[in-house]
Structure 1
Amino acid sequence: MGPETMAKAAPWPLDAWYVACTPDEIASKPLGRRICGQAMVFHRGKDGRPVALEDFCPHRGAPLSLGFVRDGELVCGYHGLTMGCEGRATSMPGQRVAAFPAIRAFPVLERHGFVWVWPGDPVQADPAKLHPLFWAESPDWAYGGGLYHIACDYRLMVDNLMDLTHETYVHATSIGQKEIDEAPVTTRLDGEEVVTCRFMEGIHAPPFWRMALRGAGLPEDALVDRWQICRFSLPSHVMIEVGVALAGHGGYDAPADKKVSSVVVDFITPETETSHWYFWGMARSFAVQDTGLTDTIREGQGRIFSEDLEMLERQQKNLLAYPDRKLLKLNIDAGGVRSRMAIDKAIAAEAGPLAAAAG
């Protein structure tokens, strides 16, 4: 299937930067990963920069990800065909390779602790289009995270993250509490972002935030003001500003020594129409040098997201089993609905010129 056909039919934007992997995943061997329906292989070239190629050997179609890296080039593990970083064969035992067909090379860059890939038109792949991440560019923030492979449509994860009402039920023992249900939700557009907000005042912190207060040297049993500000940006990123402040000190705007605040980081990279790669983490601006706290938060967050995983995968199975069932859209769904509208608009914009050219 060519890129033009995919741009018309695929349920994801192609002209965008997606998180492909973390640097450690390509530290010692090639990594094969399907992204936006396309099989890719990642490795490091001789200069140390990441490379992304089509995971297809032009000789017999073997996955290049089953091979190995030699002098910065990818050697097929089937018959030894060596592929250069631009997607052209450079050598093969006993063969002349100059006339071998090239494979596709994808634009790739390494920034903010991630390797990013552009699955669409390479001419449009401008590094300046990478979504800014203020927490990744500042020494005043610490980050820890992980990766889950989830067997559901990536848009179901967007829905999940843009409506945190589910925390009361799915995450009852960690970050959920009844006050989330009771607090009003507002949804708005902020430039190109979809923003959903919820604020809670004078409540007791749930277990996860009690741990965070304790780690920051604040009383864990004090009444707090809590906030959740979910920000969706294309192609499928959700950054959630979360935190608690000692009650009566300004909530979200409280001074740094009266609160613990973080950004829940969610990079959602489509794999197929019913699966995605979920790069999750938390960036925090308190106790930044405490690596032990980073590990503790990562472990706790990993458990929380594993609860989402089961719910989303079972939801996907239900939707596949009953494709004609109509789903409700409530006021709490506004963030997810608007995010899907933004995704659909981006897909339509990519397909428009191609459809006109085909016609």
Structure 2
Amino acid sequence: MFITNTWYVAARSDEVVADAPLGRKICDQSMVFFRNAAGEIAALEDFCPHRGAPLSLGRVVGDTLVCGYHGLAMGANGRTVSMPCQRVGGFPAIRSFPAHEAHGFIWVWPGEAEKADLALLPPFEWLGNPAYGYGGGLYHIGCDYRLLIDNLMDLTHETYVHASSIGQKEIDDAPCKTRVEGDHVITERFMSGIEAPPFWRMALRMNGLPEDQKVDRWQICHFTPPSHIMIEVGVALAGQGGYHAPDAVKAASWVVDFITPETAHSLHYFWGMARKFKPDDEALTAQIREGQGKIFAEDQEMLERQQQNLLAWPGRRLLMLNIDGGGVQSRKVIDRLLAAQAAPSTPAAA
């Protein structure tokens, strides 16, 4: 069901504070995240080996996570360090997970620990790049993570779900094209000489550009495993080169979508926008975050109700249209990687 030998975003860095653990379920595995005395991140099973209490209800003391039930102290390696008036040398270790903190996120590897490799952390143009301003948030959504991938790889729904913000009829009129490059799926749509919708009028205005002129608009959706979607979006004053226009005449951004499965029917959605204009303007960051958050809230109801329908009618066949190409191809990549993960490893030849 889930690709596990990979890195997922487990939390924003600011969610795990110095003195308190954070419990989170990822790929059907209950985990607890905490910081040691040096501020380094650790991840363990959210299970105390004494009586099975969730360690996320405990507290952090020095380099240990102390269970809130009977005071058992766990180390970052999953071994019991101490417990009041008890000998703990024979206590069984619990599972620890490879975890790493980078660029404002905490990443976790839920699969085989020996296969974890920091070199496999996904690179993105906007991560750690001072040319971009970033703001985002987190939604918990009650649906299969693949439904959100379908949603984000087909932006035709914007015309209907987001009619008051980023939707417009020209999206329906512009054909989208999908291509696959290895494990990378790209769906793109370009619109020329159109009116900017409300969100992009605001972006133009905040970037010191006229909002009442025709624009060229683009949407380029990138899926990469296990479930990351980055979407290049923006508008440029019409006739200036569109996507390739100079920065001075456009408002361009990356829509950031880190989709982390929780269970078969729920997910953690780390969303944001990395904009390539006025990166240091904190007021603009807050304004865009608020607007984008409202847009994603509109998706949440649709996705959760869709999931309920699919569970109620599990045998119903769904139609596949050309606009579904991005989601279909992304699912094919996921299925192929799941099959490879499930295949028995072949012993090396002597």
Report TM bin, short chain.
Answer: over 0.9
Q: Percent identity?
A: 66
Distance 1:340 1:213 in 2: 35
After superposition, residues 189-228 of structure 1 pair within 5 angstroms as 189-228=180-219
Amino acid at match of 1:20: A
Aligned residue among 118, 143, 148 for 1:152: 143
1:12 maps to 2:2: yes
Aligned to 2:344: 353
Q: Quote how far apart the aligned CAs of 1:191 are.
A: 3.8
CA RMSD after TM alignment: 0.9
Report how far residue 236 of structure 1 moved: 0.2
Give 5+ residue unaligned stretches, structure 2: none
2:230 to 229, 236, 239: 239
SS of residue in 1 equivalent to 2:119:
helix
Secondary structure of 1:353 counterpart: coil
* 4+ residue segments displaced more than 3 Å: none
Q: Which residue of 2 aligns with 1:129?
A: 120
2: CA distance, partners of 1:178 / 1:170: 12
Separation of aligned partners in 2, 1:133 and 1:124: 22
Please state how far the C-alpha of 1:19 moved relative to its aligned partner.
0.2
SS of 2:223's equivalent in the other structure is strand
- Give, in whole Å, the separation in 2 of the partners of 1:139 and 1:21: 22
Offset at residue 192 of structure 1 (A): 2.5
Secondary structure (helix, strand or coil) at the match of 1:344 reads: helix
Alignment of 1:155-174 (within 5 A): 155-174=146-165
CA offsets per residue over residues 273-321 of structure 1, 9 Å max, x none?
Answer: 0000000000011011111000000000000000000000000000000
In structure 1, the residue matched to 2:79 is: 88
Distance 2:204 2:338 in 1: 42
The CA deviation at 1:353 is 1.7
Map Cα deviations across residues 132-176 of structure 1 (whole Å, 9 max, x no partner): 012112111110000000000000000000000000000000000
Deviation at 1:33, TM superposition (A): 0.3
**C-alpha separation in 2, matches of 1:260 and 1:24:** 28
- Once residues 98 and 345 of structure 1 are traced to their aligned partners in structure 2, the CA distance between those partners, rounded to angstroms, is 44
Indicate the residue corresponding to 2:311 in structure 1. Answer: 320
Output the TM-score relative to the length of structure 2.
Answer: 0.98
Distance 2:63 2:341 in 1: 34
Q: 1:326-337 residue pairs with structure 2 within 5 A?
A: 326-337=317-328
Matching residue's letter, 2:4: L
C-alpha deviations, 1:19-77, integer Å up to 9, x for none?
00011111141000000000000000122111000000000000000000000210000
Which of 200, 221, 233 is equivalent to 1:230?
221
More deviation, 109-118/131-140? 131-140
Paired residues in the alignment total 346
> Which residue pairs with 2:331 in the alignment?
340
Q: Does 1:114 align with 2:105?
A: yes
**Alignment correspondent of 1:255:** 246
The letter for the 1-side match of 2:12 is T
- Answering whether residue 256 of structure 2 is matched by residue 265 of structure 1, we say yes
What amino acid maps onto 1:170 in structure 2? V
SS in structure 1 at match of 2:89: coil
Looking at structure 1, the residues matched to 105 and 181 of structure 2 have their Cα atoms a distance apart, in angstroms, of 26
1:113 shift after superposition = 0.8
- Determine which structure has the larger helix proportion and give its number: 1
Deviation at 1:330?
0.5
**1:161-201 per-position Cα deviation (integer Å, ceiling 9, x unaligned):** 00000000000000000000000110001342100000000
Q: 1:21 aligns with which of 7, 11, 22?
A: 11
Secondary structure, counterpart of 2:344 in structure 1:
helix
Q: Distance in 2 between matches of 1:261 and 1:293?
A: 14
TM-score normalized by the length of structure 1: 0.95
Partner SS state of residue 326, structure 1: coil
1:289 & 1:112 partners in 2: Cα distance?
16
Matched residues in 1 for 2:211 and 2:230: separation?
25
Q: 1:180 aligns with which of 167, 171, 180?
A: 171
Amino acid at match of 1:117: V
Once residues 277 and 319 of structure 2 are traced to their aligned partners in structure 1, the CA distance between those partners, rounded to angstroms, is 40
